[in-house]
Amino acid sequence: MIVDRLEKPLSSKVDLSDERMFKKLFVGYFAPLCVFAQKYVGNFNDEDIVSSVFSNMYQKKLTFNSHDEFVFYLYKSVKNKCLDTLKADSRMTSRNQFYSEELEQDNLFNQIVENETLAETYREIQSLPTYSKRIIELSYFEGFSNQEIADELQLSLQTIKNYKRNAVASLKTALLKKILSFLFF
């Protein structure tokens, strides 16, 4: 997660030549930026666009004076690349053209706020303890029953149930509670 307190300063420098910092930022921002890019280019080459923007920033070893500055640069680069891709697409219909012109005028600051509000929940899930996360993956995404998870992870059935309950409790977002509880109880 990026913010867990309002007062927490985000003025610290971002230095992409720092291997560990780059990795952390990449893991936290890759998926949210892909979803952001999908608004423009659909889910066809969103990953490649985001990946190439990160690659570019990594190779140039860019540094930023604050986290906000980094995030703004990142989103702006992805957005520009998306718009370029749209414009370069020769098959583009006039409807798309209209659409891209409309999108170009969108307020980037608000777009970032919107996407990052969601991204924080995503990072919340990613930051769950390994076992809770693994159990969520197995049950929520792979459809394993409690017994199958217990067998897979060599844990007792009761432990699995407890882990699930705790995982749901820690994902405070109402949305996730709603979706997860459907499978858990």
Partner 1 sequence: MKKNIPQSPTIYQLVFLIRKAKKEGLTDAEQTLLNEWLSQDAKNLELYNKLLSEDYPRKMKEMLTKDAGAHYRKITKATRIRKIVRRLSYGSVVAAASIALYFIFAPLVSEQTDDSITPAEGESDLITLRTGAVREDLTVHADSVYEVTSLMKEGTMQALVARVKDEPITIRTPIGKTIAFKLQDGSTVYLNSSSQISFQRNFEHEDERRVSLNGEAFFIVSKDKTKPFIVENNGNEVKVLGTSFNVNGYDSRSKFSLGLATGKVEVKIKELGYAKTLTPGYEVTYNKSDGSVVQRTRDIARIGLWRTGVYTFEAMPIVELTKDLEQMYPIHFVFDGPMPEELFNGEIVRDDDWKKVLNKLEMTNRVRFEVAGDKVVVRRHEEENEKNN
Report the interface residues with partner 1, using CB under 8 A. 2-3, 5-6, 10, 23, 26-27, 30-32, 34-35, 38, 42-44, 47, 50-51, 54-55, 58-59, 67-68, 71-72, 95, 107, 109-110, 112-114, 116-122, 125-126, 130, 133-134, 136-137, 141-143, 145, 172-175, 179, 182
Instruction: Kindly state the smallest distance separating residue 115's Cβ from partner 1, in Å.
Output: 8
Q: Phi/psi class of residue 5: alpha, beta or left (left: φ > 0; alpha: ψ in -120 to 50)?
A: beta
Instruction: Kindly state the smallest distance separating residue 140's Cβ from partner 1, in Å.
Output: 8
Question: Quick one: tokens of 114?
Answer: 């919107």
Question: Quick one: tokens of 93?
Answer: 């219909």
Measured from the CB atom, is 32 or 77 closer to partner 1? 32
Q: How big is the CA angle at 108 (ends 104 and 84), to the nearest 5 degrees? A: 40
Measured from the CB atom, is 47 or 104 closer to partner 1? 47
Instruction: Kindly state the smallest distance separating residue 23's Cβ from partner 1, in Å.
Output: 6
Q: Phi/psi class of residue 154: alpha, beta or left (left: φ > 0; alpha: ψ in -120 to 50)?
A: left
Instruction: Kindly state the smallest distance separating residue 55's Cβ from partner 1, in Å.
Output: 5
Instruction: Kindly state the smallest distance separating residue 163's Cβ from partner 1, in Å.
Output: 15
Measured from the CB atom, is 159 or 173 closer to partner 1? 173
Instruction: Kindly state the smallest distance separating residue 59's Cβ from partner 1, in Å.
Output: 6
| CB neighbour list of residue 36: distance below 8 Å, 6 or more residues apart | 75, 78, 79, 111, 115
Measured from the CB atom, is 137 or 152 closer to partner 1? 137
Measured from the CB atom, is 3 or 157 closer to partner 1? 3
Cβ density class 152-174: b for 16+ within 10 Å, e for less = ebeeeeeebbebbeebbeebeee
Task: Please classify residue 33 by burial: count the beta carbons closer than 10 Å to its beta carbon, then call 0-12 exposed, 13-18 middle and 19+ buried.
Answer: buried
Rounded CA-CA distance 43/99 in Å is 16
Measured from the CB atom, is 15 or 142 closer to partner 1? 142
